[in-house]
Amino acid sequence: MPKRSLFLLAATTVLVASLIGTSTPAGAAPTRDDAPIGTVDVVIAAFTYLPDPVVERAGRRVTAINVDSTVVNAIPGHSITANNGAFDSGVFRGVRSFRAPRRPGLYPFHCIVHPFMRGLLVVTR
């Protein structure tokens, strides 16, 4: 593996590890790219959604961190967009939150910038 790739992988790992486990003040609702984050539900790294599938309760906030655009500035951003239109994070860099659908079920999603990126949101009661 080239030295640059190893560096980017190491930097991504350190960044994600440092961000997971930070907490959001009570009542805070991260909705902007620069908002503080609480629990990270989805990590976007190396053009992949992790975990896959994402599991969340109906109507709960889903928080995602886009590590790709943090580590590599050439990437314009990613989105988490339901194939059926049930949710859409919009294209973002950094951190973004959105609400899971209120109806339990399986919701395939994709990135509108990079259509080859696909994942699944499992909404439970």
Q: How many residues does the chain have?
A: 125
- Whether the CB-CB separation of 32 and 94 falls below 8 Å is answered with no
Average pLDDT value over all residues in the chain: 77
pTM reported for the whole predicted model: 0.69
For residue 5, what pLDDT is reported? 43
Task: Give the CA dihedral 63, 68, 73, 75, nearest 10 degrees.
Answer: -100
| Share of residues in the chain with pLDDT > 70 (%) | 65
Burial code of 82-92, b = ≥16 C-beta within 10 A, e = fewer? beeebbebebb
Amino acid residing at 114? H
CATH topology for 3-124 is: Immunoglobulin-like (2.60.40)
What beta strand segments (E) does 1-125 contain? 42-45, 48-50, 54-57, 61-66, 81-82, 94-99, 105-110, 118-124
pLDDT, greater one: 18 or 51:
51
Q: What is the pLDDT of residue 70?
A: 61
Q: For residue range 68-83, list pLDDT tens digits in order.
A: 866 666 678 999 999 9
Task: Report whether 40 contacts 34 (CB < 8 A).
Answer: no
Sheet containing strand 118-124, edge to edge, reads 54-57, 118-124, 105-110, 81-82
Q: Summarize pLDDT for 8-45 with one digit per residue, the tens.
A: 444 444 444 444 443 333 343 444 444 444 578 999 99
